[in-house]
């Protein structure tokens, strides 16, 4: 007895093989485009990181091995030049800034987003309008948001300082983005304001999948709402929540535009993406910037691999066993 998959086609191929071939041809244009815009530039960047290539001569670089990662140069005067990324204090400062920004922003956005999602999941009049309004910060382009907040946080004419002075919360105007003590807090505030709606949207999608019968049964049994949240709601939306967290964490680790516009040239907020861009373009250290970009990609790749390997979440969105 033959099955549908074993029926041979006009070229002797089974139905399953024909479907695989058709799927490949449908995916081929996308794979070619992905290779051209992602894989090839990435491979070139990795190659440049092992050379002394200059921005003015991308084809004239010589192979220098791991010098851009490890080597320390010392001048005759005794001054040390940190050429190797892994021994460069500026790089490690950027790593610390990136990690601090990522952890704080993702934690705050997850908590705030979950609270917003719980509110939006409740039944009340005008819920649709509120849902649309909540998404406005996320819909605004990051460059526009950064520039808007830069004006609001300005120490001379910014509305934030004006409100703080009128309410008695501030005794003098603060240069939020220029002061090294407050620059990171300003960046975090803007990022949380913009991205918390994204987390709320994903959490709300998870809440919408939870059967209402479970809550009705818990209400009949007289279970405390707080216990219902931690024992029922949170475990059921965990797959959606974990997907939101990992996507947001990856986005935070490679943050560039917000920091570059809001706090340019500030060592207090300079991240891995910002410092690699400076070396690539501004300082004409193309090979050195390529090494830093390669390290950033490696960190992201290892983070994703470990996350999936530990079974926190798989591609289907189901919890690991």
The predicted model gives 201-223 an average pLDDT of: 85
Look at 204-208, 262-266, 271-275, 302-306 and tell me which has the smallest mean pLDDT.
Answer: 302-306
- Quick one: what percent of the chain has pLDDT higher than 90? 35
What mean pLDDT comes out for the span 100-115?
95
For residues 259 and 270, is the Cβ–Cβ distance under 8 A?
yes
313 has pLDDT over 50? no
How far, in Å, CA of 221 to CA of 236, rounded?
19
Instruction: Confirm whether 76 is domain-assigned.
Output: no
Instruction: Give how far Cα 7 sits from Cα of 16, 23, 216, 218, 321, Å.
Output: 9, 18, 51, 53, 37
**Confidence at 321, pLDDT banded by 50, 70, 90:** very low
| 5: pLDDT strictly greater than 80 | no
Whether 317 shows a pLDDT value over 60: the answer reads no
Q: What's the predicted TM-score (pTM) here?
A: 0.82
Domain assignment present for residue 108? The answer is yes
145 confidence band (pLDDT: 50, 70, 90) = very high
pLDDT confidence bin for 314, thresholds 50/70/90: very low
> Higher confidence at residue 61 or residue 290?
290
Amino acid 224: pLDDT = 84
For residue 143, what are the domain limits?
96-283
How many residues are listed for the chain in this entry? 321
Closest listed residue to residue 140, CA positions, set 189, 82, 191: 191
**What is the structure's pLDDT at 10?**
54
The model's pLDDT over 150-161, given as tens digits with 9 standing for 90+, comes to: 999 988 888 999
Is the pLDDT confidence value at 4 over 80?
no
Confidence check: pLDDT of 26 > 50: yes
For residues 52 and 62, is the Cβ–Cβ distance under 8 A?
A: yes
Q: CA of 285: how far to CAs of 33, 54, 56, 234, 275, in Å?
A: 29, 7, 10, 48, 11
CATH number at residue 227: 1.10.3720.10
Q: What is the pLDDT of residues 28-55, one digit of tens each?
A: 888 888 888 888 888 999 999 999 888 8
Q: How many domains does the chain have?
A: 1
In this predicted structure, the answer to whether residue 106 has a pLDDT above a threshold of 70 is: yes
* Residue 254 covered by a domain: yes
Tell me the pLDDT band of 252, cut-offs 50, 70 and 90.
very high
State the pLDDT at residue 183: 93
Question: What does the alpha-carbon distance between residue 11 and residue 9 come to, in Å, rounded to a whole number?
Answer: 5
Q: Give the mean pLDDT of 8-27.
A: 78
**pLDDT the model gives residue 315:** 43
In a domain, 148, yes or no: yes
**Domain membership flag for residue 48:** no
Q: Is residue 235 included in any domain, yes or no?
A: yes
pLDDT surpasses 50 at 193: yes
For residue 51, being part of any structural domain is answered with: no
Contact 152, 159 (CB under 8 A): yes
CA-nearest of 259, 276, 272 to 142 is 259
Check residue 71 and give its pLDDT. 80
Q: Would you call 186 exposed, middle or buried from its count of C-beta atoms within 10 A (0-12, 13-18, 19+)?
A: buried
Residue 134 scores a pLDDT above 50: yes
What are the tens digits of pLDDT across the range 66-101?
Answer: 888 988 766 666 677 777 888 889 999 999 999 999
- Whether 269 has a pLDDT exceeding 50, the answer reads yes
Residues 296 and 279: beta-carbon distance below 8 Å: no
207 to 98, 115, 120, 136, 201: CA distances (angstroms): 31, 12, 10, 21, 10
The reply to whether 218 falls in a domain is: yes
């Amino acid at each position: 007895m033959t099955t549908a998959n074993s029926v041979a086609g006009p070229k002797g191929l089974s139905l399953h093989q024909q479907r695989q071939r058709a799927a490949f041809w449908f995916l081929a244009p996308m794979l070619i485009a992905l290779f051209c815009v992602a894989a090839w530039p990435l491979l070139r960047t990795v190659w440049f990181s092992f050379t002394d290539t200059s921005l003015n001569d991308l084809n004239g670089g010589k192979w220098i091995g791991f010098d851009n990662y490890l080597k320390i140069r010392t001048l005759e005067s005794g001054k040390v030049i940190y050429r190797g990324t892994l021994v460069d204090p500026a790089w490690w400062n950027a790593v610390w800034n990136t990690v601090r920004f990522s952890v704080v922003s993702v934690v705050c956005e997850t908590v705030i987003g979950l609270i917003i999602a719980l509110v939006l999941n409740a039944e009340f009049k005008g819920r649709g309008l509120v849902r649309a309004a909540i998404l406005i910060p996320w819909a605004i382009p990051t460059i526009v948001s950064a520039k808007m907040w830069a004006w609001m946080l300005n120490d001379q004419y910014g509305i934030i300082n004006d409100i703080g002075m009128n309410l008695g919360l501030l005794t003098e105007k603060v240069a939020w983005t220029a002061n090294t003590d407050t620059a990171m807090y300003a960046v975090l505030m803007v990022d949380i304001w913009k991205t918390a709606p994204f987390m709320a949207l994903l959490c709300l999608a998870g809440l919408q999948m939870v059967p209402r019968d479970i809550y009705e049964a818990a209400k009949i049994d007289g279970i405390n709402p707080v216990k219902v949240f931690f024992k029922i709601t949170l475990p059921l939306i965990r797959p959606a929540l974990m997907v939101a967290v990992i996507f947001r964490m990856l986005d935070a680790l490679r943050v560039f535009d917000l920091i570059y516009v809001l706090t340019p040239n500030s060592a207090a907020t300079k991240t891995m993406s910002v410092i690699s861009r400076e070396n690539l373009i501004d300082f004409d250290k193309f090979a050195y910037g390529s090494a830093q970009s390669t390290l950033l990609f490696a960190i992201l790749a290892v983070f994703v691999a470990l996350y999936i390997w530990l079974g926190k979440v798989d591609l289907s969105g189901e919890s690991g066993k």
